[in-house]
Amino acid sequence: MVKYTSLGYESLNEYNRDFFRTLLETNHTYEFFVNWDKVFSNLDDYLIEISILNSLNKVESNQVESYFREILRKYPHVVQVLPTILAIRDKKVDVLDIEENKFKVVDFSTRRFDVEEIVDFCKKSGLLDLFSKIEDLYSYLVGAEVGLDTNGRKNRSGHVFEDIVGELLAKKIKNHPEYRLAKEETIRFQRTKRWDYVIYYNNIPKYLFECNFYNGTGSKPIEVANAYVDLQNQINDSHLTFIWVTDGKGWRKMEKALKEASLGIDYIVNYNILSKSIDKILFK
């Protein structure tokens, strides 16, 4: 059962009320929305190629195709930029050509592409027309990269919460040289597992942290809760202390599952409880 007295509560009910009352509504910090470093880094790799393709906006629309074909022949590396213009990461694109009733794989790899196949693809996808309609390809691609980066928000969401927790833990032990914080550390007990964070006391692993955040409901949080009950059983009777830091408004609709897990895990805390109670655990 959750050690609610160690967290500063007089009863399990008081702990439960405070847990669900203090859940974070979101973990979307300012860094969550767009990874600007990644956006500009991706474009910096192709500045020359982007500049070459950008020259097509100076060409009469009826001459774009011939100039584009010539660019592909003289500067084959520009082909790598083309999928990004269509907000595609892959260098191979699957296409169903209705007119020819044929499935195609268009290869945008520098050493493998076919000039005429690329020209045909760009004509039919509308990409060729685009060159004469935009003034600056680089600015356009910034927007495309931002759009592509939104696909990474789901992964970034989890990492953002881990980072928030890590910053808090680092702050808490800052003035205690006997403690050391390690991220993504592998510790062996009954089995080997990599933990989100491990706090060492006098160079001996002592506190093991797993962090996750749930904006919505689903089977995964419940599976994680059950897995952590099993994990707690495995580290019982050891010198290790397992602390599950979990948060998010999704838990409000999965209250029963979390309360059941709290019967088998020593420490389940959200960010706010961790913030005010971690001293009681670490420095008892």
List the domains of the chain with CATH numbers: 12-26+176-282 (3.40.1350), 36-151 (no CATH)
If you write DSSP's letter for every residue of 191-205 in order, what string do you get?
Answer: SEEEEEEEEEETTEE
**pLDDT confidence of residue 141:** 95
**pLDDT confidence of residue 16:** 95
| Encoded amino acid at 278, one letter | I
**pLDDT confidence of residue 63:** 93
Contacts of 186 (CB under 8 A, 6+ apart): 192, 193, 194, 195
φ, ψ of residue 188 to 5 degrees: the values are: -105, 130
Residue 268 per-residue DSSP state? E
**pLDDT confidence of residue 154:** 66
**How far, rounded to the nearest angstrom, does the alpha carbon of residue 6 sit from its chain's CA centroid?**
33
Contacts of 139 (CB under 8 A, 6+ apart): none
- Of 94, 30, 81, 24, give the one whose Cα is nearest residue 247: 24
**pLDDT confidence of residue 188:** 79
Low-confidence spans in the chain with pLDDT less than 50: none
Please tell me the distance from the alpha carbon of residue 11 to that of residue 19, in angstroms, as a whole number: 12
**pLDDT confidence of residue 104:** 86
Q: At what angle do helices 47-54 and 137-149 cross, to 10 degrees?
A: 130
Q: Between the CA of residue 224 and those of 3, 170, 219, 258, what are the distances in Å?
A: 20, 25, 9, 10
- Of 267, 245, 221, give the one whose Cα is nearest residue 27: 245
Contact yes or no for 195/184 (Cβ under 8 A): yes
**What's the pLDDT tens digit per position in 231-249?**
999 888 888 999 999 999 9
Contacts of 98 (CB under 8 A, 6+ apart): none
